[in-house]
Structure 1
Amino acid sequence: MPTVDMPLEKLLKYEGVNPRPADFDAYWERAIAEMKAVDPQIELVPSEFQVPFAECFDLYFTGVKGARIYAKYIRPKHATEPHPAIVQFHGYSGNSGDWTDKLPYAALGYSFFSMDCRGQGGLSEDVGGVKGTTLRGHIVRGLDDHPDNLLFRDIFLDTAQLAGIAMRMPEVDPERVGAMGGSQGGALTIACAALEPRIKRLAPVYPFLSDYKRVWDMDLAKDAYQELKDFFRRHDPQHKREEEYFTKLGYIDIQNLANRIQGEVVMAVGLVDTVCPPSTQFAAYNKITAPKRLEIYPDFGHEGLPGFSEITMQFMMGL
């Protein structure tokens, strides 16, 4: 079996190396309380794109710190109500994509929500306001500021807020909501289900944003993680604050959130992934205590995984 990381038997036991802040749980309880205090000011605008069997909306809501967040929302016209729903998250720097790839779930009678991450390639706002560098990446945004100003804290909260909005829609059964996404979207799927534990089923694909220190130790701070190397080279070239920085990154490390998940999980991983190393993904997967299973692709990296979209749909049809 080809490998760029540990042998599979070690991956299945790997627990991660990135520090976990001592106040991690209190940090996220405080963040959730802040999110719940926000008036989302939900706005639904019919989209220019429409199809005969569903209604398509541009959905806007206010997230923490006042940012307006955008999501595509597709509501089936003839579904039994209340019905299941899916929330979907995109890869790093991207956006929610086209309407057309979401229509199969609407055809099944599911509502479907797909969020643009704040400040990335879509329509959601980044309201800024952090001290320190904002060069080339959202992982390091806020790293020289108070931990509450880490940008991915706010993005994680946006995912949970969107899930809560979906659950409050009168046409949606709040007990039958799933989450899905790949890479950054896989990380956000895990974060969403951790911060909104009513998520019933989740299907993360090669999740990003996990076990940052392991990425560094493997000398794979490149591609999606390049900003870590840029940050140290410019702001801590002798690594005098390395422990401090990796500990702060622990607040937005999905492996530390994984044990909060209550929904059922099916996760896909490619064993020759050099963008999000397999061990970093297993660090999160191995901490999930809810029912779970892995779909392993030994010869695949950070790329399309044949058949997994079908596995995901079959899995979500169980909602």
Structure 2
Amino acid sequence: MCSGARGVPHEKRLWACAGYAHLVMDSRGQGADTSDPDVATGGVAAPGFLTRGVLDPERYYYRRLYTDAVRAVAAVRAHPAVDPARVAVTGTSQGGGIALAVAGLAPGLRAVLPDVPFLCCFPRAATLTDQPPYVEITRYVKLHRAHAETVMRTLSYFDAAVLAPGAARRPPGAAPRAPRPDGRGHHAYGARLDRGGGGRGRHGRRTHPRRPRRRPHVFVRPDLLTQAAAL
């Protein structure tokens, strides 16, 4: 399980009580037991974690967090009590986004069960809400407007919605890989924006045609234990 916040031990008993081996990953630097000693965290950033080291994808905070999650999957598979062919990942909010990213980075997962995932579709999310955590992007760019393109470029490499489709391209037995700036995420962003994102120019006029309104998809979250029992 990828954790969105530390929580307390009794909140993490569901899977263990149901008879599953269960590892909870502590999110480094987020106020619990695991520190984040990387020196890049000393750079300029908005309060929070979303812009920590955001000017360099090699030193970005979520690169380290995603790598921790991939290593956590490897640790679970190496445990003698675990069938390495039947490993699943799950998480809520930040943990849901990490779970989606790990699906594209760690090959051969049996299932991925994200719940209300964060860390997805950064350009759109930053324009839809003025609430944390996405507002951290807006606040940073407001103070450092010359870095706006660099910020979005870095975020594109760590967008869980861009990484998740890689799960279908990662055959069992393939070596896991750490997140790295290979251009795919940024190119995917460019393709989406070129199709018309409803952006605005200097005087508030739309620079792209507005997309037609569509009814939102409604996802009903089934019982996780029922899903797991079928694996």
Q: Does residue 89 in structure 1 map to residue 12 in structure 2?
A: no
Once the 2 structures are TM-superposed, how far is the Cα of residue 254 of structure 1 from its aligned partner? 1.0
User: Once the 2 structures are TM-superposed, how far is the Cα of residue 128 of structure 1 from its aligned partner?
Assistant: 2.8
User: Could you tell me which residue of structure 2 aligns to residue 201 of structure 1?
Assistant: 111
Residue 312 (1) aligns with residue 218 (2): no
* Count of residue pairs the alignment pairs up: 184
Pairing 1:38-49 to 2, within 5 Å after superposition: none
Q: Give the corresponding residue for 1:235.
A: 144
The 5 A counterparts of 1:168-187 are 168-187=78-97
Q: Does residue 1:296 correspond to 2:219, yes or no?
A: yes
The residue type equivalent to 2:36 in the other structure is D
Contact 1:197/1:260, CA 8 A, preserved across alignment: no
Cα displacement string for residues 163-201 of structure 1 (whole angstroms, at most 9, x for unaligned residues): 110000011000011111111011011112211122211
For 2:218 and 2:139, locate their aligned partners in 1 and report how far apart those are by CA, in whole Å: 33
CA distance in 2, matches of 1:296, 1:211: 17
CA distance in 1, matches of 2:18, 2:122: 38
Q: Is 1:222 equivalent to 2:131 in the alignment?
A: yes
> Are the structure 2 counterparts of residues 99 and 132 from structure 1 closer, same or farther at C-alpha, using a change threshold of 3 Å?
closer
- The CA distance in 2 between the partners of 1:116 and 1:108, in whole Å, is 22
The one of 22, 31, 36 equivalent to 1:121 is 31
Q: Is the 8 A contact 1:89 1:189 kept in 2?
A: yes
Give the 4+ runs in structure 1 shifted more than 4 A: none
Query: What RMSD in Å do the two structures reach over aligned CA positions?
Result: 2.2
Change (3 A) 1:163 1:109: same
Q: Render the CA deviation track for 1:116-158: whole Å, top value 9, x for unaligned.
A: 10111321111131163133121111112x3110010110111
From the superposition, tell whether residues 102 and 245 of structure 1 become closer, same or farther in structure 2 (CA, over 3 Å): closer
Q: For residue 232 of structure 1, what is the amino acid of its counterpart?
A: V
Secondary structure (helix, strand or coil) at the match of 1:204 reads: strand
Q: Does 1:134 align with 2:45?
A: yes
Q: Is the 8 A contact 1:221 1:228 kept in 2?
A: no
**Which residue pairs with 1:27 in the alignment?**
none
Give SS of 2:230's match: coil
- Alpha-carbon distance between aligned partners in 2 of 1:225 and 1:200, rounded to the nearest angstrom: 30
CA distance in 2, matches of 1:207, 1:214: 14
Pick from 160, 174, 185 the counterpart of residue 254 of structure 1. 160
Alignment TM-score, normalising by the size of structure 2:
0.73
The answer to whether 1:98 aligns with 2:12 is: no
Partners of 1:231 and 1:173 in 2: CA distance? 44
Deviation at 1:255, TM superposition (A): 1.6
Local SS of the residue matching 1:203: strand
Distance 1:104 1:254, change over 3 A: closer
Consecutive unaligned residues in structure 1, runs of 5 or more = 1-87, 264-282, 284-293, 298-307
Mapped partners of 2:112, 2:31: distance in 1? 24
Percent identity reads 27
Distance 2:10 2:17 in 1: 11
Q: Deviations 1:253-302 (Å, cap 9, x if unpaired)? A: 11220111149xxxxxxxxxxxxxxxxxxx9xxxxxxxxxx8725xxxxx
What is the rounded CA distance, in whole Å, between the counterparts of 1:152 and 1:221 in structure 2? 21
Q: Which residue of 1 aligns with 2:54?
A: 143
Q: Between Structure 1 and Structure 2, which shows a larger proportion of helix residues? A: 2
Q: Is 1:188 aligned to 2:98, yes or no?
A: yes
- Render the CA deviation track for 1:70-92: whole Å, top value 9, x for unaligned: xxxxxxxxxxxxxxxxxx1222x
The 3 A distance-change label for structure 1 pair 205 and 295 is farther
